[in-house]
Amino acid sequence: MVDDDRKEGTLDKIKGTVKEQVGKLTGDEEQEAEGKAQKNKGKVQNKVGETKDKARDKLS
């Protein structure tokens, strides 16, 4: 079973990538920066979920 943090992290990475690309295309540096931040947040959240999954697997 995949941890919810991994699902949410993946969604944040996708949303962040889209925001970042739209920001680049429109020249909106603020939106581009927000996208990068959201993408990084998603990466961290994904790692947290991965760690939880590994811990759960070891306990089972």
Local structure of 2: helix, strand or coil: coil
Residues of the chain with pLDDT under 50: none
What per-residue confidence (pLDDT) applies to 1? 67
Give pLDDT tens digits for 15-32.
999 999 999 999 999 999
What is the C-alpha to C-alpha distance for residues 39 and 33, in angstroms, rounded to an integer? 10
What per-residue confidence (pLDDT) applies to 20? 98
Given a contact cutoff of 8 angstroms between Cβ atoms, the answer to whether 23 and 34 are in contact is yes
Residue in 31, 32, 40, 34 with CA at minimum distance from that of residue 13? 40
Q: How many domains does the chain divide into?
A: 1
Whole-model pTM? 0.84
Query: By residue range, what is the domain housing residue 8?
Result: 2-58
- Percentage helix, strand, coil, to 5, in the chain? 90, 0, 10
